[in-house]
């Protein structure tokens, strides 16, 4: 599911919340909706693939603290979809009050989400989305990945679109909404320009795979490559090492555009080794916690909440770095 520009499904959300309130306790004291009741939440995180993910996990753990009225059961699935489905199933068996899911991939969620619904346990998506029917989850708190890709693509088109330019792409995890939607937004934005995509492969959102795949690109295309678009900072940072090892200057010989704007990426941008970063805000915890509290209390929530992103060039990165929170 891509970010929709309208808010839909309010009635539906209300219905899910009503059937949920008071039913999912399983030993927990939550469900009545009072602020003094502890809410047990199972959080199925993707893994720990990137700096963005670390910041997101920290934001979630801070928001779902005991002091805020939560008992958080945390699972990171090491980016293995089957392990993440098993984690959600285990949360259902434990009878948690709500499940928060950052889905690794878009597909394959129908069965387990139906099981959660049958058990009257509401599911709230955070970060990425699923292709399953919207009535299988209560709400989604996330980012407009397609717009992030489009912003990156527009910058590339504006700066390099009028002269022949060879581009390589490091894609995020195959089948994730973050990778699919960023690719759509980016490809649409560079349509009709003089940019040629030489190659596009997944680096799984990790530094190590970004480096390995970039090494392969450099071996195959050498100095034909003018430009790299990496779906996240970490893959771009891995590629930096490969570019330097090949005797080329990142940011000059090969221009680099990434997504995330974590501190390491912003430092590379401020140092002139990256050329442009589109932000993907990982600080979703507070909003997700607010939505979970409302859903468990039987209050209505929107079907989706989109957190706004910014974008930075080298000068803007220098100015923003000192106050960067992640
Ligand atoms: O889903 C968000 C993406 O996941 C971030 O851009 C990436 O760094 C992370 O692994």
Percent of the chain with pLDDT over 70: 89
Kindly state the average pLDDT of the residues 37-55: 98
Distance 31 CA to ligand 1 centre (A): 32
Distance CA 73, CA 307 (A): 25
Tell me the average pLDDT across 2-28. 34
48-70 average pLDDT score: 98
Among the residue ranges 10-24, 67-81, 88-102, 240-254, the one predicted with the least confidence is 10-24
d(C-alpha 239, C-alpha 256), whole Å: 9
pLDDT in the model for residue 2: 54
Distance from Cα 258 to the centre of ligand 1, integer Å: 11
Tell me if 181 CB under 6 Å of ligand 1: no
Atom of ligand 1 nearest to the CA of 128: 1
Q: How far is the CA of 234 from the centre of ligand 1 (A)?
A: 9
Total Cβ atoms within 10 A of residue 200 = 17
Distance of alpha carbon 160 from alpha carbon 166, whole angstroms = 10
**Who has greater pLDDT, 205 or 17?**
205
- Residue 35 is predicted with a pLDDT of 52
pLDDT in tens, 165-219: 999 999 999 999 999 999 999 999 999 999 999 999 999 999 999 999 999 999 9
Give the Å distance between the CA of 298 and the centre of ligand 1. Answer: 31
50 ligand 1 Cβ < 6 A? yes
* Atom from ligand 1 closest to the CA of residue 51: 8
In the predicted structure, residue 17 carries a pLDDT above the cut 50: no
Residue 239 confidence (pLDDT): 98
Q: Is the dihedral of CA 286, 291, 293, 296 positive or negative?
A: negative
Q: Is 303 helix (H, G, I), strand (E, B) or coil?
A: coil
Which of 57, 104, 128, 172 to mutate to test ligand 1, by most ligand atoms within 8 A of the CB atom?
Answer: 172
**Residue scoring higher pLDDT (165 or 2):** 165
The atom number, within ligand 1, closest to the CA of 102 reads 1
pLDDT score at 55: 98
pTM for the whole structure: 0.90
- Whose C-alpha lies nearest to ligand 1, atom 2? 178
106 lines ligand 1 (CB under 6 A): no
Q: Which atom of ligand 1 is nearest to the CA of 49?
A: 10
- Whole-number Å distance between alpha carbons of 8 and 28: 31
pLDDT tens for each residue of 218-243? 999 999 999 999 999 999 999 999 99
**Between β-strands 311-312 and 276-279, what pairing exists: parallel, antiparallel or unpaired?**
antiparallel
Ligand 1 pocket member 126 (CB < 6 A):
no
What are the DSSP calls for 43-107, one per residue? EEE--S-SHHHHHHHHHHHHHT-TTTTEEEEEEE-TT-HHHHHHHHHHHHHHT-SEEEE--SSSS
Please write the tens of the pLDDT for every residue from 277-292: 999 999 999 999 999 9
**Separation of CA 233 and ligand 1 centre (Å):** 9
Say yes or no to pLDDT of 73 above 50: yes
Cα-flanking dihedrals φ and ψ of residue 26, to 5°?
55, 40
Mean pLDDT of 131-153: 98
Residue 162 alpha carbon to ligand 1 centre in Å: 30
Ligand 1 within 6 A of 260 CB?
yes
**Mutation to probe ligand 1, out of 178, 186, 238 (largest number of atoms < 8 A from CB):** 178
Q: Per residue in 247-271, pLDDT tens?
A: 999 999 999 999 999 999 999 999 9
């Amino acid at each position: 599911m891509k970010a929709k520009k309208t808010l839909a499904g309010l009635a539906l959300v209300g219905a899910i919340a009503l059937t949920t309130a008071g039913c999912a306790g399983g030993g927990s004291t939550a469900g009545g909706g009072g602020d003094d009741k502890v809410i047990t939440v199972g959080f199925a995180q993707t893994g720990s693939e990137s700096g963005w993910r670390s910041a997101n996990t920290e934001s979630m753990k801070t928001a779902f603290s005991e002091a805020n009225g939560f008992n958080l059961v945390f699972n990171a699935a090491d980016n293995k979809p089957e392990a993440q489905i098993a984690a959600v199933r285990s949360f259902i068996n434990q009878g948690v009050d709500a499940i928060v899911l950052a889905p690794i991939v878009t597909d394959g969620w129908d069965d387990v989400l139906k099981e959660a619904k049958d058990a009257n346990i509401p599911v709230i998506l955070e970060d990425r989305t699923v292709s399953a029917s919207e009535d299988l989850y209560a709400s989604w708190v996330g980012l407009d990945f397609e717009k992030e890709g489009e912003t990156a693509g527009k910058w590339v088109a504006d700066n390099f679109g009028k002269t022949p330019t060879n581009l390589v792409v490091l894609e995020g995890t195959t089948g994730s909404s973050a990778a699919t939607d960023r690719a759509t937004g980016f490809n649409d934005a560079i349509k009709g320009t003089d940019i040629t995509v030489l190659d596009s492969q997944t680096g799984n959102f990790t530094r190590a795979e970004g480096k390995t795949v970039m090494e392969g690109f450099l071996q195959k295309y050498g100095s034909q490559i003018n430009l790299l678009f990496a779906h996240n900072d970490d893959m771009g940072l891995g590629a930096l090492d490969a570019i330097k090892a090949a005797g080329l200057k990142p940011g000059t010989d090969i221009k680099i555009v990434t997504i995330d704007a974590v501190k390491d990426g912003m430092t590379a941008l401020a140092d002139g080794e990256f050329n442009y970063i589109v932000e993907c805000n990982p600080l979703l915890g507070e909003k997700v916690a607010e939505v979970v509290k409302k859903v468990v209390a039987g209050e209505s929530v929107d079907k989706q909440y989109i957190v706004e992103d910014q974008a930075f060039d080298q000068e803007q990165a220098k100015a923003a770095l000192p106050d960067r929170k992640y």
